[in-house]
Amino acid sequence: MVSVDVIKSAIVDREEDMRGRIEQGDIIERECINEVRGIAAMDMALIITGVRRCGKSFLAWMLASNKNVGYVNFEDERLNVKGEELNKILEAVYSLKGQVKTLIFDEIQNVEGWERFVSRLILGRRIIITGSNARLLSSELATYMTGRHINFVLYPFSFREFLRYQRFNGNIYSTENQAKIKDYLKEYMEIGGFPLAYTAGNIFLAENYRDIIERDIMQRYGVKYPASLRDLGRYTMTNVSREISFNCLKNILGIKSPHTVRKYMSYLENAYLAFLIERFSYKLKEQVLAPKKVYAIDTGLANAVGFKTSQNYGRAMENLVAIELLRRRNYWNRGWEIYYWKDYQQREVDFVVKEGARIVECIQVTYASGKDEIEKREIKALDKASEELRCKNKIVITWDYEEEGEIRYIPLWKWILGVE
């Protein structure tokens, strides 16, 4: 049994640490903050999920700034409480803060039965919950908090946020500044969007990856074959932007059942380490059975832990575009669905964006600096997909080539910054 005094010490220490880091560090306001602020409400639980160390706690703190807030971080080993002891947490908060109207619970999903506790507290309060595993969106949450919770997925820094971190605010139409932006973009592709990677580099990325595998997956799910899970994680980070099938992975990794591969891949997705994009088809059965394309949540993470003998900028660019499309969908375009397209002749389009019943964009990604460097098969595939899907908005994202016409060619830096 944990005493209330021990709980109070843990709360005070973690809050002082958070305030100190905010006061001492360069805190970049997240570009999604207005959207998140708009959906946060009294009598509701705002649940912020995302990959470990992407900034969820800081976002929650920014949302609650200038308010009397109770902040509890359940990753503190002193808060190893059981569900029936959660009321002691509330007692400790009230003893320290009085009747607070805003409560932040960091990684509370570590405590079994937390949903009942939060459900009881919702009325008359603003509650923000953060967690690094999609298990927060479990059936228990839906059962106990139906209609009283809003979910939001936070991603690592976008390139726009990365430029703000670098204090770049130059005119993007200046030739000199465009050269700087492209240099920054290559740096961003290499180290990714985790803020701590900018100071600690690959050491942080490797440790963060290990924590995700060991703590967010193995410990949480009681993985029966840890070596196979590690192999799958490494294979995924090595083969970003490629097609995979569970049956092929079973053979490559020496795992007995494709069902085990599917289950382990779902663990990687639940921990926001990797994500799969399905092949588009008007027939749902074909979508389910077709190979998926796999992407890492962060290009820096993939670079740090994946096996490589040389830099493949084309696949890194595609991974970056995939992350950005999912970021835009989750932050601002909730109606989007993201797919890739491939026909029986193996013609392939990297991304298809669907909104409602319509395909609104077909996107190819290529590491090209001139039109003559773009392979004809990529354009033929784009034309074929556009015809089949009745989509006139055809885009080729290049490294450094631009042209307007029936097909729009746009450099990656312009596309990712949203420059028209």
Q: Tell me if 182 is assigned to some domain.
A: no
What CATH number has the domain bearing residue 43? 3.40.50.300
| Residue 88 in this model has a pLDDT that exceeds 90 | yes
Q: Are residues 10 and 124 in the same domain?
A: yes
What average pLDDT does the chain have? 92
Q: Is residue 18 within a helix (H) or strand (E), and if so which, with residue range?
A: helix 4-24
pLDDT tens, position by position, 22-71: 887 668 899 999 999 988 776 788 999 999 999 999 999 989 876 688 99
- Residues 237 and 296 sit within 8 Å (Cβ to Cβ): yes
- Our separate counts of H helices and E strands in the chain read 19, 13
Per the structure, how many domains does the chain have?
3
Q: Is residue 13 within a helix (H) or strand (E), and if so which, with residue range?
A: helix 4-24
Question: What residues does 352 pair with on adjacent strands?
Answer: 339, 362
Give the pLDDT confidence score for residue 34 in this predicted structure: 93
Average pLDDT on 156-181 reads 94
Average pLDDT on 218-236 reads 95
Confidence of residue 138 (pLDDT cuts 50, 70, 90): low
Whole-angstrom Cα distance, residue 333 to residue 164? Answer: 23
| Residue 212 in this model has a pLDDT that exceeds 70 | yes
Q: Are residues 285 and 200 in the same domain?
A: yes
Average pLDDT on 355-366 reads 97
Q: Are residues 34 and 122 in the same domain?
A: yes
Residue ending a domain, choose from 309, 342, 362:
309
Q: Which of 161, 103, 106 is closest to 133 using CA atoms?
A: 106
Whole-angstrom Cα distance, residue 80 to residue 211? Answer: 19
The answer to which of 128-142, 177-191, 339-353 has the lowest mean pLDDT is 128-142
Q: Tell me if 340 is assigned to some domain.
A: yes
The identity of residue 345, as a single letter, is: Q
Pairing between β-strand 292-296 and β-strand 69-73 as defined by DSSP bridges: unpaired
Q: Are residues 67 and 82 in the same domain?
A: yes
Question: What residues does 69 pair with on adjacent strands?
Answer: 102
Q: Are residues 19 and 133 in the same domain?
A: yes
Q: Are residues 139 and 8 in the same domain?
A: yes
- Residues 364 and 401 sit within 8 Å (Cβ to Cβ): no
Residue ending a domain, choose from 131, 153, 175:
153
Q: Are residues 305 and 322 in the same domain?
A: no
pLDDT tens, position by position, 240-262: 999 999 999 999 999 989 999 99
For residue 271, what are its two tokens? 């921990």
What CA–CA distances, in Å, run from 179 to 10, 171, 383, 417? 48, 12, 32, 14
Question: Which positions ≥6 away from 417 have C-beta within 8 Å?
Answer: 159, 160, 163, 172, 181
Residue ending a domain, choose from 270, 291, 309:
309
The identity of residue 262, as a single letter, is: R
Question: Which positions ≥6 away from 277 have C-beta within 8 Å?
Answer: 292, 293, 295, 322, 338, 339, 340, 351
The answer to which of 113-127, 171-185, 286-300, 384-398 has the lowest mean pLDDT is 113-127
Q: Is the dihedral of CA 10, 13, 19, 24 positive or negative?
A: negative
Q: Is residue 374 within a helix (H) or strand (E), and if so which, with residue range?
A: none
What CATH number has the domain bearing residue 257? 1.10.10.10
Confidence of residue 309 (pLDDT cuts 50, 70, 90): low
Question: Which positions ≥6 away from 190 have C-beta within 8 Å?
Answer: 299, 300, 303
Structural domain span for residue 326: 312-420
What CATH number has the domain bearing residue 350? 3.40.1350
Q: Are residues 135 and 201 in the same domain?
A: no
Q: Are residues 335 and 387 in the same domain?
A: yes
Average pLDDT on 332-359 reads 97
Give the pLDDT confidence score for residue 123 in this predicted structure: 84
Confidence of residue 311 (pLDDT cuts 50, 70, 90): confident
Q: Tell me if 210 is assigned to some domain.
A: yes
Give the pLDDT confidence score for residue 415 in this predicted structure: 98
Q: Tell me if 323 is assigned to some domain.
A: yes
Q: Are residues 80 and 201 in the same domain?
A: no
Confidence of residue 101 (pLDDT cuts 50, 70, 90): confident
Average pLDDT on 383-398 reads 98
For residue 32, what are its two tokens? 């999604």
Give the pLDDT confidence score for residue 323 in this predicted structure: 98
